Structure 1
Amino acid sequence: MKKLVAVAATFTLGAMLAACSPAAQNETAEAADQISADANATMGAAVNDTDAAADRAFGSAEATMDNAGAALDNAAGDARDATGAALKDAGNAIEQ
């Protein structure tokens, strides 16, 4: 927000100085170019930071889903084994 205000103020100042000498106009144009370059660099860095944060968040979510899937798989295997053992015990009890 501060950068936006600074850019707006610079362009307003530039418009006010437009009636000045060519040297002042050149200096104003150079200052406006520098501010634009700084704003673009800041926005580029913000985009890169946001992309990196999103990649980390998606990686973390993927790992959590993988861990949950493995836990469910283990629980299903344990339930299968317990059911098999119970059926064996029941069969042995009937046999006796």
Structure 2
Amino acid sequence: MNKLLVALGLAATVALVGCKKEPAPETGATTGEHLENAADQAGHDIATATENAASDTATAVDNAADATSQAADNAAAHAENAAHDAKEAAKDATAAAAQAVETGAANVKEKAQQ
């Protein structure tokens, strides 16, 4: 925005210094016409800068939304995998505990029979 104001100030200065109140032979424009043209150009520049900023902002928001969605999907997949791994570990631990109980009971039964 500051650059735009500086450019507008320079354009106005050039228009005031470079043009006489009477039409100049090279352009035929008066100082007022130069100022009007500079103002029109500044208006177009502001509109273009605004459109570009809006487009860049929309793109950034879209990219952030996509990244957030991807991160959520990854987190859900990792959580699902962790839950599956925990379930399998619990099954393995239960099976090992059951095997240990059966082995212990078999040892006790064998010693009791002797």
- The TM-score with structure 1 as length reference comes to 0.75
Contact 2:4 2:46 in 1 (8 A): yes
- Quote the offset at 1:93 in angstroms: 2.0
What CA distance in whole angstroms lies between the structure 1 residues aligned with 2:9 and 2:87?
A: 69
Matched, 1:80 2:87: yes
Matched, 1:31 2:17: no
- Quote the offset at 1:74 in angstroms: 0.1
The 5-angstrom pairing of residues 9-24 of structure 1 reads: 9-10=10-11, 20=21, 24=30
3-state SS in 2 of match to 1:39: helix
Moved more, 67-76 or 6-15: 6-15
- Structure with more contact order per residue of length (Cα contacts < 8 Å, sep ≥ 6): 1
Identity of aligned residues (%): 35
What CA distance in whole angstroms lies between the structure 1 residues aligned with 2:65 and 2:9?
A: 37
* Structure 1 unmatched ranges of 5 or more: none
- Structure 1 counterpart of 2:50, from 43, 46, 53: 43
Match of 1:3 in 2: 4
Give the number of equivalent residue pairs: 95
What CA distance in whole angstroms lies between the structure 2 residues aligned with 1:12 and 1:44?
A: 27
Contact 1:14 1:28 in 2 (8 A): yes
Contact 2:15 2:34 in 1 (8 A): no
Q: Is the helix fraction higher in 1 or 2?
A: 1
- Quote the offset at 1:12 in angstroms: 7.4
- The TM-score with structure 2 as length reference comes to 0.65
Q: Give the AA of the match of 1:3.
A: L
What CA distance in whole angstroms lies between the structure 1 residues aligned with 2:22 and 2:54?
A: 39
